[in-house]
C-alpha cells in the first residue's frame, strides 16, 4: 500500500516506486504519470520532491510566457535558481533588494515590456532618490548591486526563452566614487592601541587583530585558534561571520548569525604577521584556548554587533571621533603603504579581488607616500641652488 497521500509503493522486487503527474491530457482531463525508483522509501521521497518542483516550474514557464509580470518572475528566480546557487547571506541580500527596490517600482511591468530605456530611468531614479528612508539617493555601489541582481534574473529569463534579449546589458551605470575614508592618525592609533593592550576586556583582542592584519569584522569574529600558526607566524582566513536578515521568520526572529566563506575567493588568504603580534597572540591563547579567538568564555562566538558596540564605547572614552570598526582596516592599509609595503602585497593581505580596488581606495595614502619619497630628490635642488643665486 502507498504511504498516505504520497503515491509511494514498495514493489514485490524490494524496490520502492514513486509516481507523480507530469501532464494533464487535454482531451480526457486525466493526469498522466511518471514513475521513479529507489532502494529506500526516503530515497524515493527525496526524488519525488525534486521532480514535482521541476514539473511545477515547467508548467509556470509554459503557461506564462507572455503573461509574466517582473515581480512574478523575480519570485520564481529567487526560489528556483538563486536559492540553490548562492550563500545564505547573498540570498538574503538578493531577497531584500528585490522586494525593497525592484518590485515596488517595476514589479507590475510585463516581462516582455521591459526595455533599456525604462530600466535606465529606474536606475537613474535610484541614484537620485532611491533610499528607502527617503533621505536621498543610493550610492553608485548599491545601484550596481541592484543592476547585477536584476541582470542575472533577466539573463535566466532569456535562457528560458521568456524574453528575446536582456535589457540590462546596455544600461549606463554610474562611475564608482570612492569617498574619503576615515583613517586613524598615528597619535589616535597609539591611544587606541595602548588602551586595547592594557585592557583585560575579552574584546580588546579584536581591535589589535584588525589594526595589525587588516581583517574585516566578520573575519575577526569567525577566526579560530586552529587558523593561527604561531610557530610560523601565519594567520589563515577561511571564514566570515555575519548577522543576516531572515527571509522567513524563524521563532519570531528577524535575523540570525551565519558562519560561511569569506566575501570572495580572493578573501581566503594567508596573512603573515609580525613577531610582536605573535607574542601578543601567544599570551592571549594561554588565557583563552577555546575554539574562537574572540570569545567571552560562555559562547562559541561573539556577535559582530557586540564588537562594534565595544569599539564605539572605547573610542568615545579615548576621545576618538567618527570612527567605526572598519576604520581599523583602513588604518592598517594606510600604515602599510606609509612604511613602504608594495601595493600588490597590501592588496593580497586585505583580500581584495583586484589590485585596482586597493589603488582606488587608498589613492590618497599613495599620493602622500609618493610625496614623502619625492622629498628625497630635494637634495638635487640644494646642490643646484648656487646656479639660481648667480642669476
In a domain, 381, yes or no: no
Q: What is the CATH number of the domain that holds 136?
A: 1.10.150
pLDDT, mean of residues 214-227: 96
At residue 273, does pLDDT exceed 70?
Answer: yes
By mean pLDDT, which of 25-29, 242-246, 355-359, 378-382 is the weakest? 25-29
Instruction: Mark whether 17 and 93 lie in a shared domain.
Output: no
Q: Does residue 190 sit in the same domain as residue 313?
A: yes
Of 21, 41, 63, the domain-final residue: 63
**What's the structural domain count of the chain?**
3
Encode burial over 371-388: b for 16+ CB neighbours within 10 A, e otherwise.
eeeeeeeeeeeeeeeeee
Percent of all residues in the chain with a pLDDT value above 70, rounded to a whole number:
88
129 against 62, higher pLDDT: 129
In this predicted structure, what is the pLDDT of residue 122?
Answer: 96
Together in a domain, 257 and 365: yes
pLDDT tens profile 6-33: 788 888 888 999 888 876 554 455 677 7
pLDDT at 26: 47
User: What is the mean pLDDT of the segment spanning 105-117?
Assistant: 93
**pLDDT at position 82 over 80:** yes
pLDDT at 388 over 60: no
230: domain range? 186-374
Same domain, 39 and 84: no
In a domain, 169, yes or no: no
Render pLDDT for 185-205 as a digit per residue (tens, 0 to 9). Answer: 999 999 999 999 999 999 999
Residue 317's pLDDT band (cuts 50, 70, 90): very high
Answer yes or no: do 55 and 94 share one domain: no
What's the rounded Cα separation, in Å, for the pair 72 and 216? 37
79 and 32 in one domain? no
Average pLDDT score, the chain: 86
Last residue of a domain, which of 24, 39, 63?
Answer: 63
Q: What is the pLDDT of residue 221?
A: 96
Are residues 254 and 199 part of one domain? yes
Cα(367)–Cα(373) distance, integer angstroms: 10
pLDDT of residue 47: 84
Same domain as 57, residue 88 = no
Tell me if 388 is assigned to some domain.
no
- Kindly tell me if the per-residue pLDDT of 219 is higher than 90: yes
Judgement on whether residues 211 and 283 belong to the same structural domain of the protein: yes
Is the whole model's pTM more than 0.75, yes or no? no
276 lies in some domain? yes
Q: Per the domain annotation, does 358 fall within a domain?
A: yes
Residues 120 and 244 in one domain: no
Q: What is the CATH number of the domain that holds 219?
A: 1.10.443.10
* For residue 64, pLDDT beyond 60: no
Same domain, 81 and 209: no
Together in a domain, 24 and 152: no
The answer to whether residue 65 scores a pLDDT higher than 60 is no
pLDDT in tens, 152-194: 999 999 999 899 999 999 999 987 666 678 999 999 999 999 9
230 in a structural domain: yes
Report whether pLDDT(100) > 90. Answer: yes
Residue 174 lies in a domain: no
Q: What is the predicted pLDDT for the residue at 123?
A: 95
Residue 391 in any domain: the answer is no
Amino acid at each position: 500500500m502507498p504511504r498516505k497521500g504520497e503515491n509511494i509503493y514498495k514493489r514485490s522486487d524490494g524496490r520502492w516506486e514513486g509516481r507523480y503527474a507530469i501532464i494533464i491530457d487535454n482531451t480526457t482531463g486525466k493526469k498522466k504519470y511518471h514513475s521513479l525508483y529507489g532502494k529506500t522509501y526516503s530515497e524515493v521521497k527525496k526524488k519525488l520532491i525534486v521532480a514535482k518542483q521541476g514539473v511545477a516550474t515547467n508548467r509556470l514557464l509554459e503557461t506564462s510566457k507572455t503573461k509574466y509580470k517582473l515581480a512574478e518572475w523575480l519570485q520564481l528566480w529567487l526560489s528556483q535558481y538563486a536559492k540553490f546557487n548562492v550563500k545564505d547571506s547573498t540570498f538574503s541580500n538578493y531577497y531584500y533588494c528585490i522586494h525593497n527596490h525592484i518590485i515596488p517600482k517595476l514589479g507590475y511591468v510585463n516581462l516582455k515590456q521591459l526595455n533599456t530605456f525604462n530600466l535606465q530611468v529606474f536606475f537613474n531614479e535610484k541614484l537620485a532618490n532611491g533610499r528607502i528612508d527617503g533621505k536621498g539617493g543610493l550610492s553608485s555601489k548599491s545601484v550596481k548591486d541592484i543592476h547585477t541582481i536584476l541582470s542575472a534574473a533577466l539573463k535566466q529569463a532569456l535562457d528560458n526563452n521568456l524574453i528575446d534579449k536582456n535589457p540590462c546589458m546596455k544600461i549606463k551605470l554610474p562611475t564608482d566614487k570612492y569617498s574619503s575614508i576615515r583613517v586613524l592618525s598615528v597619535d589616535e592609533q597609539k591611544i587606541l592601541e595602548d588602551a586595547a593592550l592594557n585592557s583585560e576586556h575579552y574584546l580588546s583582542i579584536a581591535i589589535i587583530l584588525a589594526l595589525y592584519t587588516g581583517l574585516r569584522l566578520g573575519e575577526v569574529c569567525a577566526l579560530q585558534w586552529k587558523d593561527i600558526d604561531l610557530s610560523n607566524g601565519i594567520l589563515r582566513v577561511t571564514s566570515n561571520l555575519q548577522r543576516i536578515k531572515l527571509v522567513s521568520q524563524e521563532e519570531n526572529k528577524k535575523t540570525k548569525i551565519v558562519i560561511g566563506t569569506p566575501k570572495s575567493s580572493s578573501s581566503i588568504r594567508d596573512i603573515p604577521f609580525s613577531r610582536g603580534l605573535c607574542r601578543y597572540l601567544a599570551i592571549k591563547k594561554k588565557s583563552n584556548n577555546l575554539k574562537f579567538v574572540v570569545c567571552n568564555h560562555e559562547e562559541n562566538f561573539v556577535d559582530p554587533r557586540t564588537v562594534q558596540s565595544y569599539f564605539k564605547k572605547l573610542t568615545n572614552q579615548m576621545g576618538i571621533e567618527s570612527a567605526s570598526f572598519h576604520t581599523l582596516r583602513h588604518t592598517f592599509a594606510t600604515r602599510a603603504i606609509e612604511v613602504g609595503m608594495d601595493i600588490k602585497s597590501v592588496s593580497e593581505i586585505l583580500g581584495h579581488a583586484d589590485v585596482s580596488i586597493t589603488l582606488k581606495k587608498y589613492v590618497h595614502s599613495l599620493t602622500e607616500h609618493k610625496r614623502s619619497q619625492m622629498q628625497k630628490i630635494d637634495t638635487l635642488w640644494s646642490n643646484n641652488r648656487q646656479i639660481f643665486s648667480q642669476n
